[in-house]
Structure 1
Amino acid sequence: MHAVRVNGFACKDPMAATPEDFFNAAMLDQPRDTKASKVRSNVTNINVINFPGLNTLGISLARIDYGPLGVNTPHIHPRATELLTVLEGTLYLGFVTSNPNRLFSKIVKKGDVFVFPKAMIHFQMNLAHDKPAAALSSLSSQNPGVISIANAVFGSKPPISDDVLATAFQVEKDLIHWLQSQFWGNTDY
């Protein structure tokens, strides 16, 4: 017998469901380590991949921890709108529209809420030099996906042609080679 799959994930027989299928001991009240990250941030995802009970429900969650001056680098969620609530600290954040590439940015503090429209490039940065910050994001998909802009452009496998990138960014190929040689870590959320 094969499992019924919806959105690429197995669905449990409703008659076999238990309260545990709708629970995740995620400990999102606990700060995460940001020191191991080059960008001084850490994203903890709660989505259909690690919480199968979310399948078909159209929602997921992420806790974002920022070290001093930590950044959640420019990225998009191709399948979700994001609603961010600041739990601690002060963040500079924003998103960029499609052409004409208008930036909507704001400085937000504890208790403030900001929305990032679906598939728009967006970012956040902790403005404090000496204190951490944290946020909780709700996303309108059980599997929002993430595309980090820097990783996609300079860390693709195989790499995008240096001729294409040098022309697109109007810079010398040496700079493109240097950017491509940097470690582009996984910022999956």
Structure 2
Amino acid sequence: MMKYSKFVPKYALVTVALLAFACSLASAYDPSPLQDFCVAINNPASAVFVNGKFCKDPKLVTANDFFRSGLNIPGNTSNKVGSNVTAVTVEQLPGLNTLGISLARIDFAPYGLNPPHTHPRSTEFLVVIEGTLHVGFVTSNSANGNHLFTKVLNKGDVFVFPIGLVHFQLNVGNTKAVAFAGLSSQNPGVITIANAVFKSNPPINADVLTKAFQVDKNVVNYIQKQL
């Protein structure tokens, strides 16, 4: 029997493994709301979304609808946080529609950070391909406060971030790091906490932010300018 592993790039093998694992999660959440909101309307002619997408005529479907290349290419990490996420959701791979899975490649410069964020519609699991990452997530509000779970991951390690919880990844090495993520939604969404709070359009009233974070208004203005 022919051994294919030596002919298949390691990134392709990781991608297949991520999708296979994510399939086991998919039935738990999708189909769930795949847009941020859906305003009820009585006129069917104005209804536009079916899982967020129209469906292509099956007679016109080809293999290319289920294909995406390029995850072997490193993302550009020359930015303030030193990371880059290359997402493959239903927007990039139409064949994912209704399948309840997606994935991403995450590249980190030395000491780069994938900032605290949430996926409102998805659980995520992360596989480290290169480097060493400090990762963690924070539980939702409770009587015992918000508990932080953290772990240092090395090549080949896996970590799971529960659906909707704030989480992050930090490269703690002086070399680049690469990880692949599988997500249990075709359109998991992402809310980067700093951007959502300090970079909304229009901006959140500064009085709200100063009281929420218990800081001077000058601090709020400074953070907004940085972002």
TM-score (norm 1): 0.91
**1:121-141 CA deviation, whole Å, 9 max, x = no partner?**
000000012x00000000000
State which of 111, 117, 120 in structure 2 corresponds to 1:78: 120
Kindly provide the CA deviation profile for residues 78-133 of structure 1, in whole angstroms up to 9, marking residues without a partner as x: 0000010001000000000002210000000000000000000000000012x000
Within the candidate set 56, 59, 64, 1:12 is matched to 56
Q: Does 1:127 align with 2:169?
A: no
Report what 2:80 is aligned to.
Answer: 38
In structure 2, distance between residues paired with 1:120 and 1:152: 15
Report SS of the residue matched to 1:64: strand
Q: Once the 2 structures are TM-superposed, how far is the Cα of residue 5 of structure 1 from its aligned partner?
A: 4.9
Q: Please, which runs of 5 or more residues in structure 1 have no aligned partner?
A: 184-189
Structure 2 unaligned spans of 5+: 1-47
Select 2:180's aligned residue among 122, 132, 136. 136
* Pick aligned residue for 2:219 from 141, 162, 175: 175
| 1:49 counterpart residue number | 91
CA contact 1:88–1:133 (8 Å) conserved in 2: yes
- 2:146 counterpart of 1:101: yes
1:82 corresponds to which letter in structure 2? Answer: E
Letter in 2 for 1:21: D
User: Alignment length, in residue pairs?
Assistant: 177
| Distance in 2 (alpha carbons) for counterparts of 1:172 and 1:73 | 23
Query: Would the aligned equivalents of 1:97 and 1:120 in 2 still touch at CA under 8 Å?
Result: yes
Q: 1:15 to 1:5 in 2, by over 3 A?
A: farther
Q: CA shift at 1:50, angstroms?
A: 1.3
2:208 to 149, 155, 164: 164
Q: Which has more helix, going by share of residues? A: 2
Higher strand proportion (structure 1 or 2) = 1
TM-score normalised per structure 2: 0.76
Q: Which residue of 1 aligns with 2:133?
A: 91
**Counterpart Cα distance in 2 of 1:164 and 1:70:** 30
Over 3 Å off, 4+ runs: none
Structure with bigger gyration radius: 2
**Which letter maps to 1:121?**
V
Of residues 55, 59, 75 in structure 1, which corresponds to 2:101? Answer: 59
| RMSD after superposition | 1.1
Deviations 1:59-93 (A, max 9, x none): 00100000000000000000000010001000000
